[in-house]
């Protein structure tokens, strides 16, 4: 069937008009967002409030988290840079400061853990808000493996032997000698799309890596996350990662994820039957092909 010439012209023009309309809408939205963004002076007014009240044990967030201008002049302070506020990242601090623009102020409060309490609120300008939030005492956490790095007992499990890795240097554990890659060290890594505090660990050749904390008091559960670091995701070599959680040598949980998987995978181990008792807690990491396999691991024993 041959379409009339005017109809063919209209059908050809319609996609072009749609593209122009979408482009104009995006440009208008961008200009509107820029017009609503606080000025440098407005952010400076908010920053002065934080600087005057900040004390040891405090931490700062911005809303939105990508608001670099909100952090200008505050680089000597401690910042939390996760996309969303997470108790796993914040519970070690006493108070939380939030510098928010008008569009994200409400969301900044809604995203906070339910146990956090708003202490004070300032609005230094029409387009900025500052919140001061109380972070409750961490009574719900019995142990944090990142904070407990010095209590770690690390070993490599080969098919025919076990090798203790008892060299503590540069804030982490090494096997036999200081190695720039084959170590377990507290770090801040980009994983799951945001920066997180965790234990950085590489996989080891021909062996399982066993991370053991001896005679820990257990509670209702062990909650944690594990994921590939960004350098691992960008690398071609290596294979899938296997995590096994053991209590007194008995497997209580297993998890496997792909070498290019990006999430920060959560895991939970119910230990209510052992609450109040002391047991050895071990995280076993292994990859068939260890090359370029670097992970970020965090876990807490909860009361």
pLDDT of 112-141, one tens digit each? Answer: 999 999 999 999 999 999 999 999 999 999
**Do residues 169 and 296 share a domain?**
yes
Residue 16 falls within a domain, yes or no?
no
Instruction: Report the side by side order of strands in the sheet with 58-63.
Output: 58-63, 95-101, 128-134, 117-125
pLDDT for the residue numbered 84: 93
Q: Report the distance separating Cα 146 and Cα 296, nearest Å.
A: 11
How do residues 15-52 score in pLDDT, each as one tens digit?
444 444 444 444 444 444 455 789 999 999 999 999 99
pLDDT at 303 over 80: yes
pLDDT at 171 over 80: yes
Percent of the chain past pLDDT 70, that is, above it, reads: 88
**Do residues 248 and 285 share a domain?**
yes
Burial class, 297, CB count within 10 angstroms (exposed 0-12 / middle 13-18 / buried 19+): buried
Is residue 231 within 8 A of residue 292, CB to CB? The reply is yes
Confidence of residue 11 (pLDDT cuts 50, 70, 90): very low
How do residues 179-202 score in pLDDT, each as one tens digit?
988 999 999 999 999 999 999 999
Domain boundary among 134, 151, 170: 134
- Section 164-174 average pLDDT: 96
pTM above 0.85, yes or no: no
pLDDT at 10 over 60: no
Both structure tokens of 167: 């060299």
Number of domains in the chain: 2
Both structure tokens of 134: 């109380």
pLDDT for the residue numbered 4: 53
DSSP classification of residue 120: E
pLDDT for the residue numbered 36: 74
pLDDT for the residue numbered 241: 97
Confidence of residue 2 (pLDDT cuts 50, 70, 90): low
Residue 30 falls within a domain, yes or no?
no
**Do residues 148 and 216 share a domain?**
yes
pLDDT for the residue numbered 35: 58
Confidence of residue 5 (pLDDT cuts 50, 70, 90): low
**Do residues 250 and 155 share a domain?**
yes
Is residue 73 within 8 A of residue 52, CB to CB? The reply is no
How do residues 217-231 score in pLDDT, each as one tens digit?
999 999 999 999 999
Residue 49 falls within a domain, yes or no?
yes
Is residue 59 within 8 A of residue 90, CB to CB? The reply is yes
Residue 298 falls within a domain, yes or no?
yes
Instruction: Kindly report the average pLDDT of the chain as a whole number.
Output: 90
pLDDT at 6 over 80: no
Is residue 134 within 8 A of residue 116, CB to CB? The reply is yes
Instruction: State the residue range of the domain holding 155.
Output: 141-302
pLDDT for the residue numbered 281: 98
């Amino acid at each position: 069937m041959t379409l009339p010439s005017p109809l063919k012209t209209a059908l050809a023009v319609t996609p072009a008009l749609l593209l122009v309309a979408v482009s104009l809408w995006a440009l208008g939205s961008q200009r509107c967002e820029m017009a609503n963004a606080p000025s440098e002076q407005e952010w400076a007014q908010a920053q002065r409030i934080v600087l005057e009240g900040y004390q040891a044990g405090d931490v700062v967030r911005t809303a939105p988290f990508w608001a670099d201008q909100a952090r200008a002049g505050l680089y000597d302070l401690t910042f939390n840079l996760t996309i969303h506020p997470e108790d796993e990242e914040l519970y070690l601090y006493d108070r939380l400061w939030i510098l928010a623009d008008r569009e994200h102020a409400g969301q900044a409060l809604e995203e906070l853990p339910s146990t956090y309490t708003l202490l004070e609120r300032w609005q230094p300008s029409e387009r900025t808000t500052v919140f001061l939030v109380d972070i409750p005492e961490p009574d719900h956490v019995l142990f944090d493996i990142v904070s407990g790095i010095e209590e770690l007992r690390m070993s490599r499990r080969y098919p025919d032997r076990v090798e203790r890795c008892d060299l503590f240097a540069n804030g982490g554990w090494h096997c036999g000698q200081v190695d720039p890659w084959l170590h377990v060290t507290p770090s801040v890594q980009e994983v799951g799309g945001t920066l997180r505090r965790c234990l950085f660990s590489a996989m080891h050749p021909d062996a399982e890596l066993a991370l053991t904390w001896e005679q820990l008091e257990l509670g209702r559960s062990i909650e944690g996350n594990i994921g590939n670091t960004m350098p691992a995701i960008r690398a071609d070599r290596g294979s899938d990662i296997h995590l096994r959680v053991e209590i007194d040598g008995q497997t209580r949980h297993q998890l496997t994820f792909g070498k290019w998987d990006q999430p920060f995978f959560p895991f939970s181990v119910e230990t209510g039957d052992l609450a109040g008792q002391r047991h050895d807690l071990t995280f076993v990491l292994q990859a068939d092909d260890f090359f370029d396999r670097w992970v970020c691991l965090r876990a807490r024993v909860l009361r």
